[in-house]
Amino acid sequence: MPSSGNYQKELAKKQQRVESLLEGLVSSIEPIIGADDPYHYRNKVHAAVGVQKGRIIAGTYEPGTHRIIEGGGNELENESAAEVIRDIVSIANRYHMSVYNEKTGQGLLRRILVRTADGTGQMLVVLVLGDYMFPGKKNFVKTLIGKHPEITSIVLNINRRTDSMILGDKSETVYGPGFIVDTLLGKKFSISAESFYQVNRAQAQKLYSKAIEYASLSKSDLVLDAYCGTGTIGICMSDHCRSVTGVELNPKAVSDAGHNIRKNNATNVKVVKADATKYMNENAASGMFDVVVLDPPREGTTPEFIKACAKISPSRIVYVSCNPDTLARDLKLFAGEGYKAVKACPVDMFSGTEHVETVCLLSK
Ligand code: SAH
């Protein structure tokens, strides 16, 4: 956990890590963009529910075990979400609610997931249940809303799985629309129980602003947003360019992206469901993008993607990376294809952890 003096040390360490990994690969590295508040940024808070000494408790699993540590006391989590979880537990105790038992597969309340939209103040509560039958459901919802009117939606998710997945496939909305809406750089994004969404909104806005700055877009630019998730980067860029094509493999993210495009009336954005490398290969001869943005998972991108990208021959490439090791590896391959990394900027998206995000601009 960061304490304020330690936070400066944490930032310095992250800066140094990025600098040493990218040494010789990038012409200049800007100072890391730190968080104004390194605590309580996580807008997605999850707790496992169990029974201890006859009382219902919620918290995180002790690492490597299935023993729940009550509360968890996580300094990185949104405080209102943590408070809602505590109150759900006390209502569950008052109603003597049935709790799911991992050994027998019987019982009801399994987990609690709370998502907050810090830009709009909306809050989504997901109660993960081991059974469809929830006696006293109406009263439970009424009591919870009475205590926390800031909750804008409640969803019951049925999870009978025996693996460690938090959510099952079936959901029922029992209050509100079943999702919340947040804003990033003035654009609106829907967040449901399952949607992928950046967990640190304040820093995500700084990251996207840096990516937009590096892209130095003009109204005639055709932009490719590879590994686009729910379309957030592309939609935030869409006012500054002619069009954006997003490419994303996960079908749920693609359908969320479609929803977000409509919500923002971003008529110059479309999202294609495809493997990013396959898409690049199929379009390698077309040369139809001025700017390529890529934001791959921790494994980075592929050598084939990089080769095909060079054939498309964009004038700028903006690489948003959540892993400086794979970024360094990929920058070497880009250099081999004639793309030089001009500048890079680390962004602290996950204070209190080892992770560091980096935005990098490459040009021919
Ligand atoms: N740019 C988005 C999401 C980045 S996370 C944002 O800022 O929110 C990386 C995304 O890459 C995930 O949505 C994941 O589903 C997607 N992905 C992973 N492998 C992929 C592949 N081979 N082709 C296309 N997308 C892929």
| pLDDT value for 120 | 97
Structure tokens at 105: 């597969």
CB 129 within 8 A of CB 155: no
The tens digit of pLDDT for each residue in 271-287 reads 999 999 999 999 988 87
Phi-psi label, residue 338: left if phi above 0, alpha if psi -120 to 50, beta otherwise: left
| Closest CA to ligand 1's atom 19 | 249
- What pLDDT digit, counting tens, does each position of 54-82 carry? 999 999 988 888 889 887 668 999 999 99
CATH 2.40.50.1070 residue ranges of the chain are 44-185
The ligand 1 atom at the shortest distance from the C-alpha of residue 207 is 7
Residue 3 has what pLDDT? 60
From the CA of 208, give the closest atom in ligand 1.
7
Active site residues: 322
Tell me which residue has its CA closest to atom 3 in ligand 1.
229
Average pLDDT over residues 332-348: 98
The residues lining ligand 1, judged by C-beta closer than 6 Å to any ligand atom, are 196, 198, 227-229, 232-233, 247-250, 253, 275-276, 295-297
Residue owning tokens 């979400």? 81
CA of residue 301 to ligand 1 center, whole Å: 10
CA of 51 to the centre of ligand 1 (A): 37
DSSP of 303-363, one letter per residue?
A: HHHHHHHHHH--SEEEEEES-HHHHHHHHHHHHHTT-EEEEEEEE-SSTTSS--EEEEEEE
Tens of pLDDT, residues 70-119:
876 689 999 999 999 999 999 999 999 999 998 899 999 999 999 999 99
- Distance from C-alpha of 317 to C-alpha of 148, rounded to nearest angstrom: 45
pLDDT over 80 (residue 202):
yes
Atom of ligand 1 nearest to the CA of 204: 7
* Per-residue pLDDT tens digits for 239-253: 999 999 999 999 999
Q: What top-level class would CATH report for the domain 44-185?
A: mainly beta
Q: What pLDDT does residue 63 have?
A: 85
CA distance 306 to 249: 18
Distance separating alpha carbons of residues 45 and 139, to the nearest angstrom:
24
Let me know if domain 4-38+200-363 sits in CATH 3.40.50.150: yes
pLDDT for residue 73: 60
CATH 3.40.50.150 domain span(s) along the chain: 4-38+200-363
CA of 100 to the centre of ligand 1 (A): 33
For residue 298, the CA-to-ligand 1 centroid distance in Å is: 10
Scan for tokens 């954005």, then name that residue: 269
